[in-house]
Structure 1
Amino acid sequence: MTDRLSNRTLGGLPEAVRVPTYDRDRVRPGIVHLGVGAFHRAHQAVYVDNILADDPSWGIVGASLRRPDTRDALAPQDDLYTVVARDQNGDQCRVIGSMTRVLQADEDRAGLMTALTAADTRIVSLTVTEKGYCHDPATGTLLPDHPDIVHDLANPEAPKSAPGLLVAALAERRRLGRAPFTVLSCDNLPANGSTARGVVIGLAHLMDPPLADWIEAQVAFPATMIDRIVPATTDADRETVAAAIGVTDAWPVVTEPFSQWVIEDRFANGRPRFEDAGVQMVADVAPFEEMKLRMLNGSHSTLAYLGYLAGFETVSAAIGDPALRALVKRLMTDEVTPTLSVSGIDLPGYRDALIARFDNPALKHRTYQIAMDGSQKLPQRLLGTIRDRLAAGASFTCLALGVAGWMRYVTGVDESGARIDVQDPLAPRLRSIHEAVGDDPPALARAYLAVEEVFGTDLAANAEFTSMIERHLSSLYRHGVKATVQSLVA
């Protein structure tokens, strides 16, 4: 049987594999991370790994909020795992040692609360996805009737949600007289710092108004922009990694060479020297965040819905289609770029670099994966840009086609008549709308636009926007994705 990646086997890995150069026995946790998934392990945990040789007080305690997979895979490996940076030139393997342990919240809530309230814990970071904030994406405010929030209000000692865990931990730190931690959101949502602040303080107000006042005065919620494409790990990836490093790794992460992290430099209780690890520490993240959400994520979602419907399994296959490639380039050039103002950034160069990243054939980033949770993503990725274009009296036809592609996708049936397993918090409601309305594109478009959690009330009332969505959705039904896109970019 092949040996498992672990502290014991670390020294015997091939020379080409980069391994931690610091003494892991000296690493102490200073960060607790909620939502230990592939993205965190390929992004923030790598940056932290870069600083531990100089300051070992910033190790990470990870917490899985829903499933035990990550804990179960990493525990036998001393929480080591491999990050593979992959492109057409091959793989570069690196073992990451910044995770000190992973907890499963449902099974060890006491252990998680102990970590969250420890005096040495100075930062709590999050990658819980948009839906983990239990908020209304259209307004950014807490949803008091969200099932997890209802549970947490009734059971404050055993919270389920990320906001509930943060409020409970901050309440205990206040009771103990300990300094608060900084809440560092690393999720793709607009103004992620202020969104995290709003849901945490909003929940605290419902539970304990004086606590809410203390959090408002004492806790920092810096905004961030994060960027790295991280597809889901496959069994083939595990086999490739095992062959490259000579031992079994149950939970490697495959990603692209590119990585970016921009952080608002505002912390309540100290921070690592992130800048030494390549992080951009800035006074205002908003321009960078908007650039990324609108250019990269907006294009990604457009490619995901249209590409999946057209039969393209991966992003690289979708961008390889000349018409889809032209659509994405036009979307970024003509409709997104005019809404942005980012000092020191060459936006045409950024656009071309994004297309090159999408075109990476070695990174099997599935369109189905990107298409998940679209009702939570559309407001940030496409609809904000559309609102700006409407206000300016400017064109938004490519953006609108992305929205229509989402509507066609969430019906749950693709162009060939095959079922789509739509993964979305609103999937049952979206499916019932389709079942009630049927395949009548104008009526279906109007019914979906009435979903205020996604579109608010303004877009459904805008005749220009509604008319364009109806036309695009009708064309997708009548002619299919490829012909519709071709007619748009011809």
Structure 2
Amino acid sequence: MEQRLTRDSAVFPPRPEKIIQFGEGNFLRAFIDWQFDLLNEHTDFNAGITIVRPIDAGHPKLDQQGGLYTALIRGINEVGESISQPRVISSVNRELLAYGEFDQVMAIAQNPELEWVVSNTTEAGISFNENDQLTDYPPTSFPAKVTKFLHHRFVHFNGSEDKGLIFLPCELIDYNGEKLQEFVIKYAQQWQLSEAFIAWVNTANTFCSTLVDRIVTGFPKDEINQLDIELGYHDDFLVAAEHFYLFVIQGPSWLNEKLRLEQCPLNIKIVSDIKPYKERKVGILNGAHTAMVPVAYLAGLDTVSESVNDPQIAEFLECLLDDEIIPVLNMDKQELDEFKVSVISRFKNPFIKHYLTSIALNSLTKFKTRLLPQLISYVQQNGSAPKHLCFSLAALYCFYLGKRNDEDIPLSDNQDLLDKFSVWRKKSDNHASNIEGFLSMAEHWGVDLTRLANVQSLVTESFSNIKTLGVKEALSQL
């Protein structure tokens, strides 16, 4: 394919530079830049993005295509239809390198039209490096770069209150906006910047915490030749993502108007506390993955889509979510039910081949963080243990014994936990005692699970059924 995607300014004119974005990766381009592009098309949002690449990864800049790229959105839509929707994203004006072009990055601080700061610098990006200095060009850490940038803006505009910025960090850590603000203040204090600047950071700027949700698979290299033909051009920066997306922003209600959400109702929620939404995502989406993996894998299935299209696994998952997880989550039930439906639909996405063994990494730790809170809450509310969660826990124990029929199961977790299973594997004639040891690992679970109602008896019974009848028949016993 000889024709390449290039920017025709008459068709895609650059927009006013209102957004600076730290991070050039696939996720931001298929998530937030895609949303800004929709706002530009359907409202008077009219915002252009300058991307700053925090670390020079050596690949070409988006500038070689004039900032244009294609977001290919594929999956199952709200009415159950399989869709594939390419969209040329024109919200990005240019890309700068933090290392090599930092003078141009700092010049953006002087732009009176700048309003937003977006970032995704990985979970480790929002960190504090005590060796960073104000004179570094640039400093190492992302919060140090932000502090230097804000200080330059503060000085240039003489501390004007209307020149503060709105921060939308997308790093996957709890309360990412609050953590970023905390480190900016810490740098300001360490660098002995003025109290007036620190006050301006706190009052003129808005640091929002966020929760982001979209599966982005990136550049579809295995399909690119066929896609070139379908699109009629070649795009070196094409990025593929699922249809579903959710952007939850903890911030003031005026952000609804600022983002023109009444004019273009995107799946963006402005909330006062992000915690329930995180619990919903962890409990329903991540929890469903973790609960399903050992059950489906031991039943002979290999991918998420195969699993949710299997009638028995699908029924197990529905019962687990409807009867044991959703009832103990502290959110509006209708919202939880709608989210559950969207999750099951996402699991069925024919364009995503998600292997169960990939999700299975560190499953013992994942069960503790994603499902154990729901199990404990269920026991507290009902006085008895949840049978589907206990079945999943029994399957998890069986999974960690390391065999699917004659096939070795690849296991990856904390070595101390794997060592325990090595011992239990050798004592295979005494599973009841082994399971008691498994459930009583208070150093791992944070609680002795044998003390919770009838957890031990249900897990032991479920394990016995799995071993003697097989997973499929054991599921029918539920």
Which TM-score band applies after superposition, normalised by the shorter structure?
0.7 to 0.9
1:18 corresponds in structure 2 to none
| Unaligned residue ranges in structure 2 (runs of 5+) | 76-80, 425-433
How big is the shift at 1:277?
3.0
Question: What is the rounded CA distance, in whole Å, between the counterparts of 1:318 and 1:208 in structure 2?
Answer: 57
1:345 corresponds in structure 2 to 334
Matches within 5 A, 1:406-445: 416-417=407-408, 419=410, 430-433=413-416, 437=420, 439-440=422-423
Matches within 5 A, 1:70-109: 72=60, 74-87=62-75, 89-106=82-99, 108-109=101-102
1:38 matches 2:26: yes
> Residue by residue, what CA displacement relative to the aligned partner does 1:193-237 show, whole Å, maximum 9, x if unpaired?
445445555665666585655533443222444333333433123
- Partner AA of 1:154 in structure 2: N
- Partner AA of 2:346 in structure 1: R
1:278 corresponds in structure 2 to 265
Question: What is the rounded CA distance, in whole Å, between the counterparts of 2:49 and 2:279 in structure 1?
Answer: 28
> Residue by residue, what CA displacement relative to the aligned partner does 1:47-83 show, whole Å, maximum 9, x if unpaired?
11022244465222223445637x6263322222212
Q: Is the 8 A contact 1:27 1:59 kept in 2?
A: yes
1:355 corresponds in structure 2 to 344
- Partner AA of 2:27 in structure 1: F
1:245 matches 2:238: no
1:165 matches 2:148: no
1:120 matches 2:109: no
How big is the shift at 1:364?
3.1
Q: Is the 8 A contact 1:36 1:63 kept in 2?
A: yes
Question: What is the rounded CA distance, in whole Å, between the counterparts of 2:472 and 2:386 in structure 1?
Answer: 14
- Partner AA of 1:337 in structure 2: I
Question: What is the rounded CA distance, in whole Å, between the counterparts of 1:339 and 1:98 in structure 2?
Answer: 41
Q: Is the 8 A contact 2:74 2:351 kept in 1?
A: yes
Question: What is the rounded CA distance, in whole Å, between the counterparts of 1:159 and 1:373 in structure 2?
Answer: 34
User: Which one is further off, 168-177 or 324-333?
Assistant: 168-177
Change (3 A) 1:92 1:213: same
> Residue by residue, what CA displacement relative to the aligned partner does 1:74-96 show, whole Å, maximum 9, x if unpaired?
33222222122223634222111
1:183 matches 2:174: no
Matches within 5 A, 1:450-465: 450=443, 459-460=446-447, 464=451
Question: What is the rounded CA distance, in whole Å, between the counterparts of 1:165 and 1:385 in structure 2?
Answer: 40
Q: Is the 8 A contact 1:475 1:484 kept in 2?
A: no
How big is the shift at 1:463?
5.2
Q: Is the 8 A contact 1:58 1:272 kept in 2?
A: no
Q: Is the 8 A contact 2:305 2:353 kept in 1?
A: yes
Q: What secondary structure, in the 3-state scheme, does the structure 2 residue paired with 1:91 have?
A: strand
How big is the shift at 1:27?
0.9
Question: What is the rounded CA distance, in whole Å, between the counterparts of 2:115 and 2:149 in structure 1?
Answer: 12
How big is the shift at 1:367?
4.7
- Partner AA of 1:253 in structure 2: V
Question: What is the rounded CA distance, in whole Å, between the counterparts of 2:52 and 2:395 in structure 1?
Answer: 35
Question: What is the rounded CA distance, in whole Å, between the counterparts of 2:177 and 2:398 in structure 1?
Answer: 32
2:7 corresponds in structure 1 to 7
Matches within 5 A, 1:298-377: 298-303=287-292, 314-343=303-332, 345-367=334-356
Question: What is the rounded CA distance, in whole Å, between the counterparts of 2:170 and 2:31 in structure 1?
Answer: 10
2:132 corresponds in structure 1 to 155
> Residue by residue, what CA displacement relative to the aligned partner does 1:445-478 show, whole Å, maximum 9, x if unpaired?
6899747xxx7xxx24665479969996998899
Question: What is the rounded CA distance, in whole Å, between the counterparts of 1:61 and 1:283 in structure 2?
Answer: 27
2:52 corresponds in structure 1 to 63
Question: What is the rounded CA distance, in whole Å, between the counterparts of 1:400 and 1:116 in structure 2?
Answer: 55
Question: What is the rounded CA distance, in whole Å, between the counterparts of 1:108 and 1:414 in structure 2?
Answer: 54
1:25 corresponds in structure 2 to 13
Q: Is the 8 A contact 1:48 1:58 kept in 2?
A: yes
| Unaligned residue ranges in structure 1 (runs of 5+) | 11-21, 135-148, 423-429
- Partner AA of 1:5 in structure 2: L
Matches within 5 A, 1:459-478: 459-460=446-447, 464=451
2:282 corresponds in structure 1 to 293
1:226 corresponds in structure 2 to 212
Change (3 A) 1:39 1:80: same
- Partner AA of 1:76 in structure 2: Q
1:263 matches 2:239: no
How many residues were matched structurally?
445
Question: What is the rounded CA distance, in whole Å, between the counterparts of 1:195 and 1:348 in structure 2?
Answer: 31
How big is the shift at 1:404?
8.6
Q: What secondary structure, in the 3-state scheme, does the structure 1 residue paired with 2:334 have?
A: coil
Change (3 A) 1:363 1:419: closer
How big is the shift at 1:358?
1.3
Q: What secondary structure, in the 3-state scheme, does the structure 2 residue paired with 1:338 have?
A: helix
How big is the shift at 1:294?
2.4
Q: What secondary structure, in the 3-state scheme, does the structure 1 residue paired with 2:207 have?
A: coil
Superposition RMSD on alpha carbons, in Å? 4.7
User: Which one is further off, 275-284 or 43-52?
Assistant: 275-284
Q: Is the 8 A contact 2:449 2:455 kept in 1?
A: no
- Partner AA of 2:167 in structure 1: V
TM-score (norm. length: structure 2): 0.73
Change (3 A) 1:382 1:159: farther
Q: What secondary structure, in the 3-state scheme, does the structure 2 residue paired with 1:276 have?
A: coil
Q: What secondary structure, in the 3-state scheme, does the structure 2 residue paired with 1:294 have?
A: helix
Question: What is the rounded CA distance, in whole Å, between the counterparts of 2:74 and 2:245 in structure 1?
Answer: 12
